[in-house]
Amino acid sequence: MKKMNKSNGVVARQYMLALSICAISVSVLAFFYGSSKGKEEADEFIVDLTEIEKQEETEVTTKHAKAENFANEDIFGWDNVMDATDEVKEETDEVITDNSNQANEEPVIEVDPPAVETVNKPISLNFTESDKLLWPVNGNVIMNYSMDKSIYFSTLKQYRYNPALIIASEEDTQVLASAKGQVIHMEEQEDIGMTVTLDLGNEYQLVYGQLKEVCVHAGEVVEEGQVIGLVAAPSKSYVVEGSNLYMKLTRNGQPVNPMEYLK
């Protein structure tokens, strides 16, 4: 009976040992199996991460490439716009240069001088207080010289001093030089029309007004009796008085009475 118990104990120990060995084997196998599977999963995980990184790198590279292409692209045709702008600038510069050249090359346009002619007195004339003047036209004096009192001007409807003789004369009547003299001034004046001034010498000057078709020029020396022009239609200051010749004599710039010198 004891032998049998002993035998049974041995068998039980062997059985337990076998179970232990089996358990250990299963654990080892499970460990190796788990390690292998974990390694495979880890490897797969690493591979997945590597592929993701490669994809991200590829996407980044693609984005950089697109960005570079975008930067190099002619967006909205800006290159053409810039080229057109440069062309416009060049054309503008050419136009400015051409205009400048034309301005330099264009001939100077001659402008008619104003209706005033004046000349210095290069010759010697010798009119004196005792010399006499030729009547420039045949006609009646309608307004006398008057510097000591005012006289009535019908057109202007006012009293004024009169430094000249107003001699009635038909329009187109020839006006003669009253003495030898030099034409020193010609001018259109509002109140007395076209005027011619003769220098007679010794500070005497003779002014004719209400003229037209003047046939002398500044600087010309005229002789007594020479035609200097024609009587014009009256200026607006002498409409009521009618056509006339304005005759004014000055000495040293001051008016004197022509009647005292007329022959």
pTM to 2 decimals?
0.57
| pLDDT range class, residue 2, cuts 50, 70, 90 | very low
User: Region 94-106: what's the mean pLDDT?
Assistant: 49
Q: What is the DSSP string of 31-85?
A: HHHHHHHHHHHHHHHHHHHHHHHHHHHHHHHHHHHHHHHHHHS-GGGHHHHHHHH
Residue 222 amino acid letter:
V
Q: What is the pLDDT of residues 173-230, one digit of tens each?
A: 999 999 999 999 999 999 999 999 999 999 999 999 999 999 999 999 999 999 999 9
Q: What is the pLDDT of residues 27-74, one digit of tens each?
A: 655 554 455 454 454 445 444 545 555 565 666 455 555 545 544 544
> Across the chain, what does the average pLDDT equal?
76
Residue 134 has pLDDT above 50, yes or no: yes
User: Region 167-173: what's the mean pLDDT?
Assistant: 98
Residue 232: predicted pLDDT: 99
For 209-247, give the secondary structure using H, E and C. EEEECCCCCCCCEECCCCEEEEECCCCHHHCCCCCEEEE
Higher local confidence (pLDDT), 229 or 14? 229
| pLDDT range class, residue 123, cuts 50, 70, 90 | confident
